[in-house]
Amino acid sequence: MAELPPTGSTVLLRLRTWSGEIEEQGIIMPPAAANHVTMKLVNGYNISHPSEAILGCEVLAKPESATTPSSSGKPAKQKEDLPRVRIIHTGGTIASKVDYATGAVVARFEPEELLASIPELSKVARIDAVKIGNMWSDDMRPQHWNTIAKASADAFADGVAGVVVTHGTDTLAISACALSFSWAGAGNCPPGRIVFTGSQRSSDRGSSDANENLLASVYWAANGPSPNGGLGDSTVVMLHSSADDGEIAVLPGCSARKLHSTRRDAFQAINSTPLGHVHLARGGISHTLSDEYANVLANTPSRGQAPPTDFSENIRIGQLISGAHLHADMVNATAAAGYSALVIHGTGLGHLPIENPNANAPENEELGQAIGAVIKGGMPVVIANQCIHGPVNMNVYSKGRIQQELGILGQANNSSPEAVIVKCHWSLSQGRNLSQDMMQNLVGENPSSIKE
């Protein structure tokens, strides 16, 4: 085997394969497994070959000193003239590897490994990373939102230009929404850019979207426009805008949602549009803003700044789904268990099965009676839209008007279901008037007009 140069070197490898000798050009990365060499190809994909398959190695470019790992495994001194960005590491697929012994994906990618694997980061920002967890996002709870909010506040107090939160994608949009309310729900704005990013495929897979997502996110955190609270820019969600490489969407953190379990472009803005895009090309990195967002930045005064607010860990929000299997005892059980509020994902414009026109479904009437009773007993009931896109409008049909007479909240809500739940939790945590907050657009989660 030919001796390999340091991580970050650009090389031309001559390799022995089953189909004969081949040549591959790319950047040397930390190996994905023992006795293997891993490198990132020019097209952005990662490949790994057994070390014994290497016949020759030509060094085309040495690694930049800013990204050459030190003996401790941490990046060496970085360029002092670049903006500072802090990566807050929580875990998830972007911070995971394939365990080649079992084939399973495990969360064990340390922040230092993330930095060492993407040499281009050295040209964008001075990076430091803090690890506040290494967990799958489906294990996230409100206490973890508070931890992320505090870590972001500590980062800004330390003088960074922006923050990138690496997070598992399954609940990434929920955490981004939570930090939107934490920082901006009371009418304020964070002092810098907060980006949530993740990946659909682990960082050492050939088809991984992790490198481009992280690189674009660090670029935005370092160079994007300063948030002013307009269009939900207090936090943003950044992942691929399509299945192809090269373009990363910048979505409002309060209205993004994961809509596909495996695609790289799984995230979309609900009832709103992207704020912009980051473009990754061989010539460099750039960004464009939507016309609407550029206009808001130019013509809307920035909000004031204040420390983030916390989510009470004592508040619990129950969730039920409207449909043929929603019954009164489920509502009663939620109230009896001491939940702080109940969010029901309604059908269509936000409807529930509470009428009995054919006189053969008494359970519908029982459901309506149970909802009315728990509301009178002091538990708020809020309707979200299980259609995802589109509004809640309980003024169109008589059923909706009956629901409003029962005291159900959520009329004219254009928020995603997740934003409704987060908003409900945040409002109750702050001791605010939930009925009034549900009708407001606090952080961009409830735009007055729906955009396709």
DSSP characters for 320-359? EE-STT--HHHHHHHHHTT-SEEEEEEBTTTB-S---TTS
The answer as to whether 125 is a domain residue is: yes
Q: Is the pLDDT of residue 204 over 80?
A: no
Please identify, among 256, 272, 299, the residue that sits at the C-terminal boundary of a domain.
299
**Are both 284 and 390 inside the same structural domain?**
no
- pLDDT for 388-398, tens place per residue? 999 999 999 99
**Are both 416 and 364 inside the same structural domain?**
yes
d(CA 365, CA 344): 17
Average pLDDT over all residues of the chain: 89
Question: Of residues 206 and 5, which shows the higher confidence score?
Answer: 5
Helices (H) and strands (E) counted in the chain, each on its own, are 10, 20
Report pLDDT for 73: 43
Q: Is the pLDDT of residue 369 over 50?
A: yes
Report pLDDT for 150: 98
Nearest partner of 145 among 172, 179, 170, judged by Cα: 179
Mean pLDDT, rounded, for 438-451: 93
Residue 274 near residue 161, CB atoms below 8 Å: no
CB neighbours of residue 59 within 10 Å: 14
Q: Is the pLDDT of residue 68 over 50?
A: no
CA angle at residue 126 from 304 to 232, to 5 degrees? Answer: 35
Torsion angle (degrees, nearest 10) of CA 114, 115, 118, 120:
150
**Catalytic sites, residue numbers:** 93, 169-170, 258
Q: Is the pLDDT of residue 84 over 50?
A: yes
- The separation between CA 64 and the C-alpha centre of its own chain, rounded to angstroms, equals 31
d(CA 127, CA 207): 25
Is residue 324 exposed (0-12), middle (13-18) or buried (19+ Cβ within 10 Å)? exposed
**Are both 403 and 435 inside the same structural domain?**
yes
- Domain span at residue 282? 84-299
**Are both 98 and 49 inside the same structural domain?**
no
**Are both 199 and 225 inside the same structural domain?**
yes
Is residue 141 exposed (0-12), middle (13-18) or buried (19+ Cβ within 10 Å)? exposed
Report pLDDT for 422: 98
Lowest-pLDDT range of 32-41, 98-107, 363-372: 98-107
The answer as to whether 363 is a domain residue is: yes
Report pLDDT for 30: 76
Residue carrying the six token digits 């997502």: 213
Residue carrying the six token digits 């209205």: 255
d(CA 17, CA 19): 5
Mean pLDDT, rounded, for 92-119: 60
The answer as to whether 447 is a domain residue is: no
Task: For residue 423, give the CATH number of its domain.
Answer: 3.40.50.40
**Are both 282 and 371 inside the same structural domain?**
no
**Are both 95 and 218 inside the same structural domain?**
yes
**Are both 91 and 186 inside the same structural domain?**
yes
**Are both 158 and 34 inside the same structural domain?**
no
Residue 315 near residue 145, CB atoms below 8 Å: no
Nearest partner of 43 among 282, 247, 239, judged by Cα: 282
Task: For residue 123, give the CATH number of its domain.
Answer: 3.40.50.1170
The answer as to whether 4 is a domain residue is: no
The answer as to whether 343 is a domain residue is: yes
Report pLDDT for 186: 97
SS3 of 270, please? coil
**Are both 180 and 285 inside the same structural domain?**
yes
Q: Is the pLDDT of residue 109 over 70?
A: no
Instruction: Count structural domains, the chain.
Output: 3
End-to-end, the C-alpha distance of the chain in Å comes to 55
d(CA 411, CA 396): 11
pTM: 0.82
Confidence of residue 19 (pLDDT cuts 50, 70, 90): confident
- pLDDT for 150-188, tens place per residue? 999 999 999 999 999 999 999 999 999 999 999 999 999
**Are both 268 and 131 inside the same structural domain?**
yes
The answer as to whether 50 is a domain residue is: yes
Mean pLDDT, rounded, for 359-381: 98
Question: Of residues 88 and 44, which shows the higher confidence score?
Answer: 88
Report pLDDT for 243: 87
Task: For residue 30, give the CATH number of its domain.
Answer: 2.30.30.520
Q: Is the pLDDT of residue 76 over 50?
A: no
- pLDDT for 227-283, tens place per residue? 999 899 999 999 999 988 899 999 999 999 999 998 989 999 999 999 999 999 988
